[in-house]
Chain A
Amino acid sequence: MKLILSDTNLSLPEFISQESDIKYIDLSKLKITNCVGCFGCWTKTPGKCVIRDDAVKVYPYIAKSDSVIYVSNIKYGTYDTVMKTMLERAIPVQQAFIRLLDGETHHVQRDVALKKAVIIAYGDMSDDEKKLFSSLVERNAKNMNFESFEIIFTKASDLNDIVNSEVAKWEK
């Protein structure tokens, strides 16, 4: 399973909509509210968020995909609101319980596929922001089960071409 998770509408090749192995989700078209930090997905209804909005349709795809392309605007060196809100709502894919990973404490993952991740970060960014965002993705890798990741920085005007070029690599 492959996932394209974007905070903006993309024009993708025709085969994407016919290819059952690839799921494209445009978060900007979904209604996803903020995580309220209730721990319900860990301690009340494990594996399920208690807020039954569109996020519950998204995180199962995040979990089962072994290749992902995340597309997000960047603000202050972090994911901007739309993507960040979704990533925070994806914690039902983890357990409350803690394990050691590479000598650090991290949450135990549920049935989450190991992923090859491509993060396409767009917007006007300073070098400082790029550096900080790279450090963030490096940390995310441990908590989001990335076996490998690549970060591509681009301008919003080039975004669609960059995404299409990355999707084309899946077809090779």
Chain B
Amino acid sequence: MGKIMILNASPRAPKSNSKQYAKIFSDNCKTHTDYFNITRTNHDELCSKMSDYTDVLLVFPLYADSIPVTLLNFLKSLENSQPENKPVISVLINCGFIEHYQNNIAVKTVELFCRQNGYKFGSVLKIGSGEAILTTPFKVFAVRKIKKLAASIANSKYTSLSVTMPISKKMFISASTSYWIKYGEKNSVTKEMMQTMQIEDGK
């Protein structure tokens, strides 16, 4: 029976969307899962535990078109502390854009790491509109795909999946604008303030 190690590589792991995606995965996975946040100081601990697992699921957001530096640094540590038994590495990535394919470069980066370091690459789920999809009625689509991801890893039938909000780009922009305006309002920051063109003090 397999065992899956879920690693949250979001820079804001304790409060991240990635944490929510990881929870949905655990709740819907028939195989035993253990969840860990990647922090700056626990790389060695996570690398040494990895041998106990058949699979690792990396959960993270897209950052500057690629993997977040939190994950980059962890992969560099893993390269230097390879586990005796190498698990299969799968990916659950989300980006704030509607096009799930904007995650492709980050996925290829993990695939390249796997090739260079002798890990088998497993399944991938690319989520578009991932910042907000869980707060919309379209959450069901994301949950459905996460269930498929969980089944694919549990059954070692690795696959590539994707999901995004099933709306037009125009509607997406309108919805995301409303989302961010509400986000700003929580901090008493208006839409106009958020739209400032000034960077720092404009010097």
Contacts and interface: CB of A to CB of B under 8 A. Distances in A.
Interface string A43-78: 110111000000010011001000000000001111
Given A84-B69, A104-B102, A132-B108, A46 B64 contact: no
A98 B97 contact: yes
Interface stretch (A14-22, A87-95, A148-156): A87-95
Given A37-B10, A136-B66, A104 B99 contact: yes
Contacts of B184: 42-43, 96
Contacts of A48: 199-200
Contacts of A164: none
Interface string B72-93: 1101100000000000000000
Interface residues of A, number: 54
A88 B109 contact: no
B65 A140 contact: yes
Contacts of B76: 75, 81
A50 to B, nearest CB: 11
Interface stretch (A3-11, A105-113, A114-122): A105-113
A97 B105 contact: no
A92 B173 CA distance: 20
A56 B202 CA distance: 12
Interface residues of B, number: 51
A88 B169 CA distance: 25
Nearest to B183: A43
Contacts of B102: 104, 139
A34 interface: yes
Given A93-B199, A100-B169, A132-B112, A81 B65 contact: no
B197 A38 contact: no
A158 interface: no
B203 interface: yes
A39 B183 contact: yes
A63 B64 CA distance: 15
A32 B195 CA distance: 26
A128 interface: yes
A139 B194 CA distance: 25
A36 interface: yes
Contacts of A35: 11, 63, 68-69
A128 to B, nearest CB: 6
A22 to B, nearest CB: 17
A60 B203 CA distance: 8
A85 interface: yes
B97 A105 contact: yes
Nearest to B194: A46
B200 A111 contact: no
A80 to B, nearest CB: 8
B172 interface: yes
B9 to A, nearest CB: 11
Contact of A76 (B75, B97, B172): B75
12 contacts: A34-B40, A37-B63, A43-B180, A43-B184, A46-B193, A47-B200, A78-B109, A80-B72, A97-B176, A105-B97, A126-B116, A139-B65
